[in-house]
């Protein structure tokens, strides 16, 4: 009598790992085969993918539906400017430090907004983002309401040539996407990730099993806030200019991110990847149509939510049982892949 094996990996996930590794090598070599416009577009894709993965971790797994993550995007951007201009830090060191500062700031913020539930929590996060925006708009040293540009000397500290700076910005964006996806994946595979899944399925049952719900959600909020601030720093390192309206834009850094996650598949690791590709395909194809482009985005979101509530990836997974990021355990019977234990 054969004993079934319990593993996480599947044939599809092994193939996906090999393809991802080869694809990563090709993408790392982009400065030698892609043009400037292509590199900027790909860098933007990586940064939006990172933001989408982080929002998905909060909303899709921890149940923290935030509409105020632009608070940490803007915070990271402003810390980049403040720490380089007034602190004398190298831009890369300033971005890393911005992540640490965001983590520290997120603790008292979480202590406040975690008292709110459901829609009130979402509104609370937006209010916090507005407080951040109004606060930085009062700092005249950073340009006040009109914003400021990164000094030329700081920009040149990245590289003496324009091509070198563009390549470095591209590699930083690619590295950030790999870091975020890897961090989220490892977190979900850990004991904390298992606790998070239990909380998502039923907070009452998770509490009955001895899981500290408040602490687990706090950990997720702090980690996502820190990484979001790092992504914010990278975004404005590419733009070289910052202003309160641009840094704390709910449309750019939250609405589009929510769209990406919803159409891709909330509560999955593959969903934000699919959603990001769909979003940029629509944007690059229809952006010249102005407001019509935004209307089409809304129509696509409505159709996906009605026809595929679990998103595009959820629809694919339900039909062919495909999993590229193995999080659940699978029972392998002799001669077949077996089912999934989550």
The DSSP line for 31-88 is HHHS-HHHHHHHHHHHHHHHHHHHHHIIIIIS----S-THHHHHHHHHHHHHHHHTT-
| The pLDDT value given to residue 324 | 81
Cα-only R_g, the chain: 21
Query: Structure tokens of 254?
Result: 């939250």
Sorted by sequence, the CB contacts under 8 Å of residue 175 that are 6+ apart come out as none
| The pLDDT value given to residue 112 | 94
The DSSP line for 302-324 is HHHHHH-TTHHHHHHHHHH---S
- Give pLDDT < 70 ranges for the chain: 1-8, 328-342
| The pLDDT value given to residue 275 | 95
Beta strands in the chain (DSSP E): 5-7, 148-149, 241-242, 329-332, 339-341
CA distances from 269 to 25, 56, 240 (A): 21, 8, 31
Q: Which CATH number describes the domain made up of 8-331?
A: 1.10.3470
The DSSP symbol for 170 reads: H
Per-residue pLDDT tens digits for 258-285:
999 999 999 889 999 999 999 999 988 8
| The pLDDT value given to residue 136 | 95
Sorted by sequence, the CB contacts under 8 Å of residue 140 that are 6+ apart come out as none
Per-residue pLDDT tens digits for 207-263:
777 888 889 999 999 999 999 999 999 999 999 999 999 999 999 999 999 999 999
């Amino acid at each position: 009598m054969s004993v079934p094996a319990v593993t996480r990996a599947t044939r599809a996930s092994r193939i996906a790992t090999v393809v991802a590794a080869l694809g990563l090598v090709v993408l790392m070599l982009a400065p030698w085969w892609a043009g400037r416009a292509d590199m900027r577009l790909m860098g933007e894709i990586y940064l939006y993918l990172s933001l989408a993965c982080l929002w998905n971790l909060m909303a899709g797994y921890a149940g923290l539906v935030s509409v105020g993550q632009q608070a940490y995007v803007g915070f990271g951007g402003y810390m980049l400017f403040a720490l380089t201009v007034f602190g004398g830090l190298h831009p890369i060191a300033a971005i890393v430090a911005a992540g640490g500062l965001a983590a520290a700031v997120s603790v008292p913020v979480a202590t406040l907004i975690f008292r709110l539930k459901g829609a009130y929590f979402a509104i609370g996060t937006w209010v916090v983002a507005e407080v951040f925006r109004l606060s930085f708009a009062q700092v005249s040293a950073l340009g006040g309401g009109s914003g400021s540009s990164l000094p030329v000397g700081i920009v040149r500290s990245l590289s003496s040539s324009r091509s070198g700076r563009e390549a470095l910005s591209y590699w930083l964006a690619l590295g950030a996407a790999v870091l975020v996806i890897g961090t989220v994946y490892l977190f979900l595979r850990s004991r904390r990730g298992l606790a998070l899944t239990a909380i998502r399925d039923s907070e009452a049952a998770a509490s009955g099993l001895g899981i500290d719900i408040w602490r687990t959600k706090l950990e997720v909020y702090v980690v996502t806030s820190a990484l979001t601030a790092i992504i914010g720093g990278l975004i404005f390192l590419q733009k070289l200019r910052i202003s309160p309206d641009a840094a704390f834009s709910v449309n750019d850094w939250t609405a589009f991110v929510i769209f990406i996650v919803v159409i891709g598949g909330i509560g999955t690791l593959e969903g934000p990847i699919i959603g990001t590709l769909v979003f940029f395909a629509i944007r690059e194809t229809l952006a010249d149509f102005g407001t019509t482009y935004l209307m089409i985005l809304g129509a696509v979101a409505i159709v996906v939510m009605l026809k595929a509530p679990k998103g595009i990836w959820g629809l694919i997974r339900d039909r062919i049982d495909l999993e590229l990021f193995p999080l659940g355990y699978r029972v392998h019977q002799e001669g077949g892949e077996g089912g999934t234990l989550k």
